[in-house]
Amino acid sequence: MTNMPVTLFVVDDDDVDVMFIERCVRKHQLVNPVVRAKDGLEALELLRAGEITRPFIVLLDLNMPRMGGLEFLAEIRADEELSDMVVIVLSSSSDIRDVNSCYKKQIAGYFVKHDCGNGYSDLIGLLNRYWQISRFPTK
C-alpha cells in the first residue's frame, strides 16, 4: 500500500472523455491528482521531464494523433526508466488484436469505453480501490 496519493495520468485526446473522468474523480471525492496529456508524445515529454511524480497510474487511450497508445506502450517498455509503469488501457477499440497487443506490452487492464457504465464512475471506483491496496514501483 502507498501513503502518497496516486496520480491518475490520463493520456487521451478526447476532451469529453477526460471531462467525464475528472467529474467521476470529484464525485468519488478522491484527492488523487489528475494530470492529462493529449497524446503519446506529450505523455513521454512529461514523463521524461519528471513532471509526473510517482506513484501514478496511466489511463491510456489507443487512438490519438501524433503518437497512439500502442506506440506509446512500445516506447515506455523499451525505456529502462519508464518500463515499470502501471498502465491501464481505456479505449474505444474492442478489437481483439488491440487487446492482445496491449497485454503483450504488460498492461494492467483493458477497458472498452462504451462498456464502462455510469460515465466512468465504476472504473474510477475500481481504480480507487486498486491504488489503495496495490504496491507501486519506486525509483
What's the pLDDT score for residue 1?
A: 47
Residue 139 lies in a domain: no
Mean pLDDT over all residues of the chain? Answer: 90
- Which distant-in-sequence residues (6+ apart) come within 8 Å of 33 by Cβ? 5, 7, 8
What would the pLDDT profile of 23-38 be if each residue is shown by its tens digit?
Answer: 989 988 888 899 999 9
Q: Are 67 and 94 in contact (CB under 8 A)?
A: no
**Domain harbouring 48, CATH code:** 3.40.50.2300
What would the pLDDT profile of 72-109 be if each residue is shown by its tens digit?
Answer: 999 999 999 999 999 999 999 999 999 999 999 999 99
Residue 18 lies in a domain: yes
Residue 21 lies in a domain: yes
Q: How many domains is the chain built from? A: 1
What's the pLDDT score for residue 89?
A: 96
**What is the residue range of 92's domain?**
7-133
Q: Are 111 and 78 in contact (CB under 8 A)?
A: no
pTM score, whole prediction: 0.92
Residue 28 lies in a domain: yes
Mean pLDDT value of segment 25-53 = 94
Residue 16 lies in a domain: yes
Residue 1 lies in a domain: no
Q: Are 59 and 11 in contact (CB under 8 A)?
A: yes
Give 35 or 124, the one with higher predicted confidence. Answer: 35
